[in-house]
Structure 1
Amino acid sequence: EPHRLRVTATAGSGKTQLALAAYTDAIAAGRRPLYVCYNRPLADHFSRIVPPGGEVATYHQLCDRRLRAADRTPDFAAPDRFRRMETDFAVLVAAGADDPAWRFDELIVDEGQDFTEAWRDALLALLTPNGRAWWLEDPLQNLYGRAPVALPGWAGLTADTNYRTPADVLELLNARLPLPTPIVAGSPVADSEPEMFIWHDENGLMEATKRAITRAIGLGFRRDMIAIVSYRGREYSRFTALTHLGPHRLRAFRGRYDLFGEAEYSEGDLLIDSVHRFKGQSAPCVIFTEIDFERLDDQAMRKLFVGATRATMKLIFVASERTAALLTPPSGA
């Protein structure tokens, strides 16, 4: 039977490193790999660190490229453009358009929790008869409410040790979030002392975030070591329209790409992004801001988990008063 392995592993456990190893090993062995993920920033990062000889794309980038190669350019002006593109891609693959340029010996799916079973079928159809497949996922990072993808007959491997996030941050998450199972700490950083800045209204939010930045810089983090991560999506964030926050120039995604497919960012030196886009990335110091919700439901838990586990050395929460009580370490902790 061809290699089929499903890896269900927590944040910071090394899924991207495994994907990189599988990709480079395939090229070294003369196989042509295809790496597919959901998030564009992750695909952009991965494409910069792999050797030439394979294909790296988000699922929708892959749909677009394949359809264009078949002279079926997607209509990005259509209101349902992404769903239509998915359907057209699936139809093209199912029709057996056997173009050797779109056949692969190794399939690596990253962020598998964000995929659907229809996407699974289309991707597996691109494999050569003896092609190998990897499926890497973390159910706790499922921010889009997707149902689990069935992979019958696949071997499975699980990992619950996080080697990226400071141990005391994981201790806090284990204590305050209703995680299915505790996350095991593998990072040597154990005394990062996660901090909380509280806001009461929009003006207070801006001021608290500025104070968090001042705190991070005061601790010795350079601006290029700090990421401001918003709990809210880019469309709803109060920071989206800003170019500066106090004296700090913000480097924010502008919502478009240049002619070479590179994301366009505003000219700033302090990165700010949404928790959705920053999934799959990390920074030494993360300022996790705009945190506010009425109750700690499953969606809130997942977003908190994703945002908090982006930090490798220091985590600063900027949360509303009603939310802060849910995240503050218990007395004496």
Structure 2
Amino acid sequence: QLATNRLDVYTFHELSLRMAREAGVLPPEPQVKDQTWWDRTLPRALDDAAQTIGGRYHAIIVDEGQDFEKAWLETLPFLLVEPWEDVFYVFHDPSQALYRPDVTDTLQLQSSFIPDNCRNPGSVHDLANRFYTGPETITARRVPGRQPQLIPAEDERATIEAVRTSLHRLVHEERVRPDQIAVLTAGSLSNSAVWRQRVYGNEVLWNGSYDETGRTLGLAPELQPEQPPDVVLFDSIRRFKGLEREVVILVELDPDDPRLGPFLYVGMTRALHHLVVIAPAAVLERIRGA
């Protein structure tokens, strides 16, 4: 039985905030926190806190390690009681490095590879695997399942109509619950025509961390509201990385974006059962021919 009272689960920034407060080294918090707060201020505060508090854990496990700055990863072992003897694991996937280059391999940690894909059905795995950049072979452990649906849409108007018809089919014909669907954009919410539309017949897109214009509300993870069951989550591929939904719809993919491959790999691998890609023909051709 898991001794949950001896287990702490945080995002990196939650950990930084808690430790900095405990050590009394947290700078004044702005009401609206910009990217500098998350990328520089909080990590520096954790570094200062580690020097004050010292080690308190016998094991630290990092997930999505490819998203971490090298300095962040180098600070975490100093929260261990025995920094060079206790457990320090970093799980990472270089093919999902959307924010910054993956520096995990530069830490001189012992490396192991996990070859099994247990999340995606075989059909989604086969499509996403075309954009995997690692040298290893990944094997799908689930049955093939339903074939992903590729829908051409050359402009905003066609994309919005394709989203409307897809949501109608999924919810009203196939009886998928709205909260089992995620619509993910390769861009930002502030520049998304799909987000501006918001209402698609009886279905409404929702994101509790952004306002109607796509501007972030600056909420800490623990303050973000829970999704109501009668709405469809809309988010960026970047923010949804590491998460999953029964059905995923990818939209607003730019054929000229140099990050198209990583966006497709990350976005596709969020789907537990079914994948829909709504994109210009040039993107669909790359998917088919990759």
| TMscore range, shorter length | 0.7 to 0.9
1:216 aligns with 2:176: no
Contact 2:154 2:280 in 1 (8 A): yes
1:200 aligns with 2:161: no
Please tell me the residue identity of whatever aligns with 2:27: P
| Aligned length in residues | 274
1:98-138 residue CA offsets vs partner (Å, 9 max, x unmatched): 36xx6111101111111122112211000002432111111
1:263 aligns with 2:219: no
Residues 258, 229 of structure 1: CA spacing in aligned structure 2 closer, same or farther, 3 A cutoff? closer
Distance in structure 1 (CA, Å) of the matches to 2:246 and 2:49: 43
Distance in structure 2 (CA, Å) of the matches to 1:173 and 1:286: 13
Q: CA deviation at 1:192?
A: 0.9
Distance in structure 2 (CA, Å) of the matches to 1:106 and 1:285: 35
2:42 aligned residue: 85
Residues 260, 232 of structure 1: CA spacing in aligned structure 2 closer, same or farther, 3 A cutoff? closer
Distance in structure 2 (CA, Å) of the matches to 1:169 and 1:126: 39
2:15 aligned residue: 62
1:159-201 residue CA offsets vs partner (Å, 9 max, x unmatched): 22212112122222344x363345321112x141111122122
The 5 A counterparts of 1:110-149 are 110-129=63-82, 130-149=85-104
1:52 aligns with 2:5: yes
77-86 or 196-205: which moved more?
Answer: 77-86
Distance in structure 1 (CA, Å) of the matches to 2:67 and 2:16: 16
The 5 A counterparts of 1:175-324 are 175=130, 177=131, 179-181=133-135, 182-188=137-143, 190-217=144-171, 218-255=173-210, 256=217, 261-264=222-225, 268-294=230-256, 297=258, 299-324=259-284
2:114 aligned residue: 159
Give the SS at the match of 1:272. strand
Q: CA deviation at 1:321?
A: 2.9
Residues 204, 246 of structure 1: CA spacing in aligned structure 2 closer, same or farther, 3 A cutoff? same
Distance in structure 2 (CA, Å) of the matches to 1:191 and 1:252: 29
Task: Give the gaps of 5 or more residues in structure 1.
Answer: 1-23, 28-50
Q: CA deviation at 1:62?
A: 1.5
Distance in structure 2 (CA, Å) of the matches to 1:292 and 1:235: 16
TM score, norm. by length of structure 2? 0.83
Identity of matched residues, %: 25
194-203 or 226-235: which moved more?
Answer: 226-235
1:211-248 residue CA offsets vs partner (Å, 9 max, x unmatched): 22123232342222222122223343334445422321
Q: CA deviation at 1:258?
A: 7.0
The 5 A counterparts of 1:26-37 are 27=3
Distance in structure 1 (CA, Å) of the matches to 2:37 and 2:221: 21
Distance in structure 1 (CA, Å) of the matches to 2:159 and 2:28: 39
Contact 2:94 2:102 in 1 (8 A): no
TM score, norm. by length of structure 1? 0.73
Contact 1:252 1:265 in 2 (8 A): no
Please tell me the residue identity of whatever aligns with 2:112: L
Give the SS at the match of 2:52. coil
Q: CA deviation at 1:202?
A: 1.3
Please tell me the residue identity of whatever aligns with 2:151: F
Q: CA deviation at 1:260?
A: 9.3
Contact 1:212 1:318 in 2 (8 A): no
**Structure with more strand by fraction:** 1
Distance in structure 2 (CA, Å) of the matches to 1:239 and 1:72: 42
Distance in structure 2 (CA, Å) of the matches to 1:86 and 1:55: 18
Please tell me the residue identity of whatever aligns with 2:182: A
